[in-house]
Amino acid sequence: MTKMNEAFLASMHEAMALLRTAGPLEATEVIQRALRDSGAAAGFQPAQVVEALLPRTAPAADAEGPAAKAGEARTQPRREPKPAPWPGVQDTGHFTTRHYASHAGERAYKLYMPGGYDGQPLPLVVMLHGCTQDADDFAAGTRMNALAEQHGFLVAYPIQPMTANPSKCWNWFKPGDQQRSQGEPALIAGITREVMANHPVDADRVYVAGLSAGGAMAAVMVQTHPELYAAAGIHSGLPCGSAHDLPSALAAMKGGNLAAKLMEKARTAPRGNSVVSPSRPLIVFHGDADATVHVSNGERLLRDFQGGTHRDKQQRSRGGRTFTHRQLTSPEGIDAEYWLIHGAPHAWAGGSSRGTYTDDSGPDASAEMVRFFLAHPLRP
């Protein structure tokens, strides 16, 4: 393979990664640059390349075992719904679509209320889907609604439309969407407050979680709204402030030095700026075979917990995945957990094959997030 072909192939890998976490417009820019550099034939359209990169069917992990190759999610048709994994627990509640509008714009969202809910104050978990997903897909893959039945909490799923991002990615890498009082953070916080206003919610037990681009936006939310969210769960995501445009987004996804420099700048910014110092518990999941978002981002998410105490434990999930479970406590007494899953791809650990981007080999990220959340109410 010539050096030119090697460079072009590397650019296509970059485009695929951006397609999954940023959207086709950003991927197209990388392809256009690669075509210019390689001297590709006239009439070769970047849009055609982007279309070819899009999955034809929902990617999901094999229900019979791990994915064929680490770092890759298999592409296969959706499977028939399976019974809930907890005896006697089904999604028997109400799953309805709502609409929110404010000065920052408008978004639809879905709200799950567990069966038997009679108005008593319950915790609220806000779930932010990944690229190409929607609320129904994310709910099916994470099985969070079944956990809501088991433990008794509400679940809100804000929906990113294609008009905001053609791949339905949350725009975690845009400066206007990293601000407390504008853009997508204002919309997501507004949805959260609307649910709290319309339903009895325990204000000390409101949490946010997400996958990939949704995980990166969950990191933004807990940083920009620490008075609203008691803790955050981030799966295969990136730290707040790790990117401000397309090149820095790609660098952050690769785990480059530019991302580290941007993060350091964000960490030292005055509190009056868009990013504030982390002050809430975090539970982070990341596969060390993630070919889309480099595993170093998991470590960076927990940078402010360094200097305190930590302990590591090597374990194996029921599905056969080995993982390192790290428990940390910051010098200020704030807890965090890091689940480093060995050989795992860019997919929700322990998820159901009914949804996309899941790895049913475990460990069960949803159950562990709920456990962590319920143990950490809002603290001053």
Cα 144 from chain centroid (whole Å): 14
DSSP-based three-state secondary structure for 99: strand
Task: Please classify residue 349 by burial: count the beta carbons closer than 10 Å to its beta carbon, then call 0-12 exposed, 13-18 middle and 19+ buried.
Answer: buried
DSSP-based three-state secondary structure for 204: strand
Q: Among 11, 167, 212, 242, which one carries the catalytic annotation?
A: 212
Place of tokens 């690669």: 34
Spatial distance between the Cα atoms of 302 and 321, rounded to a whole number of angstroms: 23
DSSP 8-state secondary structure symbol assigned to residue 222: H
Spatial distance between the Cα atoms of 288 and 321, rounded to a whole number of angstroms: 12
Nearest to 29 by CA among 41, 46, 53, 49: 46
Q: Beta-strand (E) ranges in 168-269?
A: 201-211, 231-235
Q: How many CA atoms lie within 13 A of 19 on its CB side?
A: 20
**Is the Cα torsion angle 13, 16, 21, 24 positive or negative in sign?**
positive
DSSP 8-state secondary structure symbol assigned to residue 334: -
212 in catalytic set? yes
User: Do residues 4 and 38 lie in contact, with contact meaning Cβ atoms separated by under 8 Å?
Assistant: yes
Q: Per DSSP, what are the bridge partners of residue 234?
A: 210, 284
| Burial letters 198-237, b for 16+ CB under 10 A, else e | ebebbeebbbbbbbbbbbbbbbbbbbbbbebbbbbbbbbb
Spatial distance between the Cα atoms of 374 and 207, rounded to a whole number of angstroms: 9
**Is the Cα torsion angle 225, 230, 236, 241 positive or negative in sign?**
positive
Catalytic residues: 212
